[in-house]
Chain A
């Protein structure tokens, strides 16, 4: 591979560094062509690089200038591999000499150890970075798009034929793809089909309209791109995105279909009200759930169940069995709206009727505040915050005692009927819904983080589930209104189509879209330890019976967790390999023993911690010059061998900077940071083998905005290393 190194001298690089020495370092490491220029990112700079590539027939270039997080569109030279050596943010903008106690100002000529100036340290860092950059390119291989042998299916399967499911199917069909709806009930429509009316889903969002479901059903039935299976169920999903084989069971017969992506719109079930006996359910006939009340109204049979008398007053109890640790701990977000809607039914049947709504907090999400406002204006709707103390029967009516009201005292309200605003339980809470034939099992993993909803990290990827190519929409995703469910379904349909396109092009779906490389196993050396198949956060790997991994590249998100897990180091990407990182570590130069200053390797999450480092540089925060930073795609992609390599090379310590893990994780790959933390045990073992203190390798958590923390974390680590002194491996 013919490599060229281009060193930019602008943005303080030329001022603080000896460019001639840097050029020599690049040549030393094996770059066949080396040049330095002002403003490489300028039109002239890029033209120079382009011409040189052509004239010198370069296959790879190391751009020694700014961070890879900026100007990535400028330094794009087509098929030529590009490595960005971060001299600006990584060196000259973030490493500064510290004035001594009696010094007012200080420059790079300050002596920081016996016979060593700060400039020497800065140069040694810059040269290490350049050598690492060239070394990385030396192990680079051009990736090839993944093209499965089997034909890719462009069909989208939609599980659930409610409003969300039908919307998703129609959106898919409108984009020219076939869609298949599988609905377990005999009719399409889901819960909305049982409703009397819905809250308006168009401006001004303040009244009722006919449920949208009728229109959707006729559109679905009239669309030849949509196939509908009612009274049917999905019994098995095999394969991978683009290549799924789905078994649909309908009556006694089973049918296998090929699909490319799946939208899960399986909806919700009402919470089991029989657990709400303390609110009178099951005890009094006139205590009903909001779903039962809706059905009564839809049928036009709004009468007291106990004696068939007309209903003159209804008390709605909000959050019945919700926001309660003993029942549903969450807010279903729609029940306030539902009760207001049902209050309107009552008020419309009888202008003298009274609707009481006892709430914990009135929550009508978003624009539906308009409906709340409109209902508030109705003189027959009585609202107060309160806690239900007791419900009794008195003279054939119900007497509700409410405590903690906004009146500042307890009240007793006699009513004809009580409606419990029970919450939504996602279909995925009890049933996997997606019977995946994956090594890691059916269904979505770890939904308990989202109370059983098929949700995911809402900050980074609102639609992605932990299973590539499978997207959730509607109330199975989060509790939501009809209006939101339709928007959600449109989004999920778009995601499903994006997935199909990515697979067609042969690159990763998400979040490393456009990444053509994928992990490849050198199975000759595999010991069937199953670490990769178990640890993959996305269930991308299946297994043969003897435990040999069977990769499914279209399920893979390219996080490199398998690559980090493999003790045999047999998992590699074309453009990113164990050997590559090893070579980068080896390219660093270690000072002689008793040098007096330290060398630390930092393996840094490129999604959170690395941007934080760049931001530290923009603020000119001072980071210790001892650190050599290697960005990794995830801390999960850190192989223990990297630590071993670094320690044997003579590094005094290794710092791992990852993102937050746990309940409110911020990890792009969900588990990487957490896994790395768990793997620290293996690291400790390795260090013990080398007779080194285990504390020399430390993992720290940094969120993307915790920029201020970095100088402290890194400074503390250096101070900490001073207690242990230099690594005994120096000079070997």
Chain B
């Protein structure tokens, strides 16, 4: 860290961002001791609290601990000083999302209550604009949406693709920028020696798969103590998203590319899967909301606007989707309105990935990958040190050891190449 000159503003910024209790910490490290996820190598959140107190934002934002925390609230419950480390880390994650993102005004709209109507209007404008372009006239919407124009599916498909393909591309680019920034920060902060650096492909192959397995199983999440209840709800929401992603991809390929136009009948396995996904999404979301309220009462977790925003958004996406389907099956005219609302909400959710709390989906995954990777690096370095250690006692064999080290280094590099 060397030369440091913190400024009071940054500390205030962290306090204002929801880390208002950060200064209460007196570094007893009870939090790091009780945290079920902190390890000897990556202990948290004691040090992160200190970094927060000194306003070392850069350092914090490139700390894997920030994302390895699942905010169970154990630390906040046991903290003797009421510093609520879990909540502070939550606030810092919010800040991190902002720092990692491009077009930061979008972050602001997503993270401030006053930005909600703006985001809604932006998405509504996008949806309505694209719709009116591809789907005029507006007077005919009722009765033809969502599944009207039986002889002109191409237009409807085009409409959806014209809206969501660019949106997806934009989101992917934004996320890629964020992940890249995060990864670089992580690498620099952890001072991973050049000899141990791996290429993108090697990283993905070696570490992304186990990371995703861990995430799907929610094995780390399950270790969280104080708010164990979140485990089920959160896993259900995640799986619902996975199911819905599979369904969407299938439909995209099936309908938009191969031309098997929707609506597919209710007995279609993909349709069944989609409905199961939707119900899981709504159920998981409701469970999370109920439990979050309870945790707030118990004091183990405080919920911010950003927390509630994401939960409500997901819930409404699920509900509006189901409503659209239901009204369509009932042949009710309101299905058109439900559909438009659903599209707007989905667009909001899509766009929120790089900007809202939803970003934890990608950044936490990145941190998992980095964690697995850096664990490996540490283990390798420790093994090397252990090898070198006995030789230091015998002066004669010392040069040999360095040679060996050199060889190892080059072979690693070879692998990378």
- Chain A residues within 8 Å of B, Cβ to Cβ: 351-352, 354, 362, 372-373, 376-380, 382-385, 406-414
Contacts known (A406-B47, A407-B51, A412-B3); A380 close to B27, Cβ less than 8 A: no
Docked-complex contact B47 and A408, CB < 8 angstroms: yes
Docked-complex contact B27 and A376, CB < 8 angstroms: no
Which one of B5-13, B102-110, B200-208, B293-301 is at the interface?
B5-13
- B1 — which chain A residues lie within 8 A by C-beta? 407, 409-411
Docked-complex contact A382 and B6, CB < 8 angstroms: yes
Kindly state the separation between the CA atoms of A207 and B143 in the bound complex, as whole angstroms: 70
Q: Is B111 an interface residue (CB 8 A)?
A: no
Kindly state the separation between the CA atoms of A411 and B56 in the bound complex, as whole angstroms: 12
Choose among A377, A379, A380, A409 the residue with the greatest number of B CB atoms under 10 Å from its CB: A379
Kindly state the separation between the CA atoms of A380 and B46 in the bound complex, as whole angstroms: 20
Q: Nearest-CB distance from A291 to chain B (Å)?
A: 27
Docked-complex contact B8 and A352, CB < 8 angstroms: yes
- A377 — which chain B residues lie within 8 A by C-beta? 23-24
**Residue of chain A at shortest CB distance from B11:** A379
Docked-complex contact A379 and B23, CB < 8 angstroms: yes
Choose among A384, A407, A408, A410 the residue with the greatest number of B CB atoms under 10 Å from its CB: A407
B1-42 contacts to A (CB < 8 Å):
1-8, 11-12, 15, 23-27
Other than the given A351-B8, A377-B23, A413-B4, 7 more pairs (CB < 8 A) read A354-B7, A379-B23, A406-B46, A406-B50, A409-B1, A412-B4, A414-B3
Kindly state the separation between the CA atoms of A382 and B51 in the bound complex, as whole angstroms: 10
- Ordered by A's residue number, 14 sampled pairs between the chains whose C-beta atoms are within 8 Å are A354-B6, A376-B23, A376-B26, A377-B24, A379-B8, A380-B11, A382-B53, A383-B53, A384-B54, A385-B27, A411-B2, A411-B3, A412-B3, A412-B4
Q: Nearest-CB distance from A513 to chain B (Å)?
A: 43
- B12 — which chain A residues lie within 8 A by C-beta? 379
Kindly state the separation between the CA atoms of A613 and B104 in the bound complex, as whole angstroms: 79
Docked-complex contact B47 and A380, CB < 8 angstroms: no
Docked-complex contact A407 and B15, CB < 8 angstroms: no
Docked-complex contact B54 and A382, CB < 8 angstroms: yes
Kindly state the separation between the CA atoms of A354 and B8 in the bound complex, as whole angstroms: 7
Contacts known (A406-B47, A406-B50); A376 close to B2, Cβ less than 8 A: no
Kindly state the separation between the CA atoms of A382 and B56 in the bound complex, as whole angstroms: 11
Kindly state the separation between the CA atoms of A376 and B8 in the bound complex, as whole angstroms: 13
- Chain B residues within 8 Å of A, Cβ to Cβ: 1-8, 11-12, 15, 23-27, 46-47, 50-51, 53-55, 81
**Residue of chain A at shortest CB distance from B21:** A377
Kindly state the separation between the CA atoms of A373 and B55 in the bound complex, as whole angstroms: 18
Kindly state the separation between the CA atoms of A372 and B24 in the bound complex, as whole angstroms: 10
- A351 — which chain B residues lie within 8 A by C-beta? 8
Q: Which 9 A-B pairs have the closest CB atoms?
A: A379-B11, A380-B8, A412-B3, A377-B23, A379-B12, A379-B8, A406-B50, A411-B4, A382-B54
Task: Tell me the total A-B contact number using a CB cutoff of 8 A.
Answer: 55
Q: Nearest-CB distance from B313 to chain A (Å)?
A: 33
**Residue of chain B at shortest CB distance from A376:** B23
- A378 — which chain B residues lie within 8 A by C-beta? 23
Docked-complex contact B2 and A410, CB < 8 angstroms: yes
Q: Nearest-CB distance from B178 to chain A (Å)?
A: 26
**Residue of chain A at shortest CB distance from B4:** A411
**Residue of chain A at shortest CB distance from B12:** A379
- B4 — which chain A residues lie within 8 A by C-beta? 411-413
Kindly state the separation between the CA atoms of A35 and B51 in the bound complex, as whole angstroms: 82
Kindly state the separation between the CA atoms of A442 and B1 in the bound complex, as whole angstroms: 56
**Residue of chain B at shortest CB distance from A350:** B8
Contacts known (A373-B24, A407-B1); A379 close to B47, Cβ less than 8 A: no
Docked-complex contact A414 and B5, CB < 8 angstroms: yes
- B81 — which chain A residues lie within 8 A by C-beta? 373
- A410 — which chain B residues lie within 8 A by C-beta? 1-2
- A414 — which chain B residues lie within 8 A by C-beta? 3, 5
- B15 — which chain A residues lie within 8 A by C-beta? 379
Kindly state the separation between the CA atoms of A406 and B1 in the bound complex, as whole angstroms: 12
Kindly state the separation between the CA atoms of A134 and B307 in the bound complex, as whole angstroms: 86
- A352 — which chain B residues lie within 8 A by C-beta? 8
Q: Pick from B26, B46, B54: contact of A362, CB below 8 A.
A: B26
Kindly state the separation between the CA atoms of A414 and B2 in the bound complex, as whole angstroms: 11
- B51 — which chain A residues lie within 8 A by C-beta? 407
**Residue of chain A at shortest CB distance from B43:** A408
Kindly state the separation between the CA atoms of A376 and B50 in the bound complex, as whole angstroms: 12
- A354 — which chain B residues lie within 8 A by C-beta? 6-8
Docked-complex contact A407 and B5, CB < 8 angstroms: no
Choose among B1, B15, B46 the residue with the greatest number of A CB atoms under 10 Å from its CB: B1
- A372 — which chain B residues lie within 8 A by C-beta? 26
- B25 — which chain A residues lie within 8 A by C-beta? 376
- A385 — which chain B residues lie within 8 A by C-beta? 27
Kindly state the separation between the CA atoms of A407 and B27 in the bound complex, as whole angstroms: 11
- A383 — which chain B residues lie within 8 A by C-beta? 53
- B27 — which chain A residues lie within 8 A by C-beta? 384-385, 406
- B26 — which chain A residues lie within 8 A by C-beta? 362, 372, 376
**Residue of chain A at shortest CB distance from B81:** A373
**Residue of chain B at shortest CB distance from A373:** B24
Kindly state the separation between the CA atoms of A362 and B5 in the bound complex, as whole angstroms: 22
